[in-house]
Structure 1
């Protein structure tokens, strides 16, 4: 299986939205109720086009098929797509603030094949080159095992309450990046 990553473009958005819907609906089953899943898609999970415009969102393709997506951010937003943003999203100072790992989704047919790991390694290396030495993220319950396996530690469990009253448990996680100048994950 050949996995390649590339920077996402705005023309990828329709296909990425389809991938996100499939991933959330199928991979969240058993962790979240159907109402939580549908509310999360309506109010939070989706593409944050600011990441694409910043050049920090990536697409993974496996054997020529769209297999996953994810990114990192030098902006304040911790999670959520365009539908959840209502205020300006200022840049972070890498000297004092952690970068963000954002919006990771793997197509259900490509899970447990290294897709998430491949995207995360690209993100960590890019964030490191941009001067960030720490990263943080908000993990979903199904995503937490991947991040933990790749060195992220849980710091806070919290709940996001949607406008319809549904609540979604999430986990804030963090990781210190290697401080050597040769930090280039494979």
Structure 2
């Protein structure tokens, strides 16, 4: 039997379920790439910016009654970080003629990895950003996300950076792609 995946825009009543998926994803999928301390610190750096849901730019993919994955794009300046992260967010709007759409908060439930969920969400985000007039997209990749983004045509924009959380460095890579 083949799983049936359905994508849709996230709604505010999805927030609790989205937070659970993100928490599981960070806790389980980062372990091959980060130390236990870095995984713990990642929960303070990553997460969902609920403004993405309010802006109507956040997608999820469902399989039955479960969220298999989620991710979005933004027309705002903020590159990464969620409602409860330590990262400062900048809600000002990016001009599509000169700036880049931001790919944000991409997560796959650990039970649904290696089934094209991330690639599917990324394609939805890129199509929506292109339709909104953006010619370029950028993102801040976690170590686990870099292989997906590279396979989808993203290239590093800067050298590896580190978010500092209580003396722990969480590696991040800023990447971009022409749409």
TM tier, shorter chain? over 0.9
The 1-side partners of 2:46 and 2:165 are apart by 14
- Choose 63-72 or 109-118, whichever is displaced more: 63-72
Within a 5 Å distance, the mapping from 1:89-168 to structure 2 comes to 89-168=91-170
Per-residue CA deviation, residues 101-142 of structure 1 (Å, 9 max, x unaligned), is: 000000011011010111111111100010000000011111
The aligned counterpart of 2:80 is 79
The aligned counterpart of 1:33 is 35
The 1-side partners of 2:159 and 2:49 are apart by 23
Per-residue CA deviation, residues 37-59 of structure 1 (Å, 9 max, x unaligned), is: 11110x22211011011000111
The secondary structure found in structure 1 opposite 2:126 is helix
Coordinate RMSD, CA, aligned: 1.3
Tell me if the contact between 2:139 and 2:175 (Cα under 8 Å) persists in the aligned partners. yes
The 2-side partners of 1:130 and 1:64 are apart by 31
The secondary structure found in structure 2 opposite 1:80 is coil
- Pick from 19, 33, 50: which aligns with 1:17? 19
Give the Å deviation of 1:3. Answer: 1.4
Q: What's the TM-score once normalised by structure 2's chain length?
A: 0.93
The aligned counterpart of 2:70 is 69
The secondary structure found in structure 1 opposite 2:129 is helix
What number of residue pairs does the alignment pair up?
Answer: 176
Tell me if the contact between 2:49 and 2:81 (Cα under 8 Å) persists in the aligned partners. yes
Q: What's the TM-score once normalised by structure 1's chain length?
A: 0.90
The 1-side partners of 2:66 and 2:75 are apart by 28
Give the Å deviation of 1:2. Answer: 1.6
- Choose 126-135 or 30-39, whichever is displaced more: 30-39
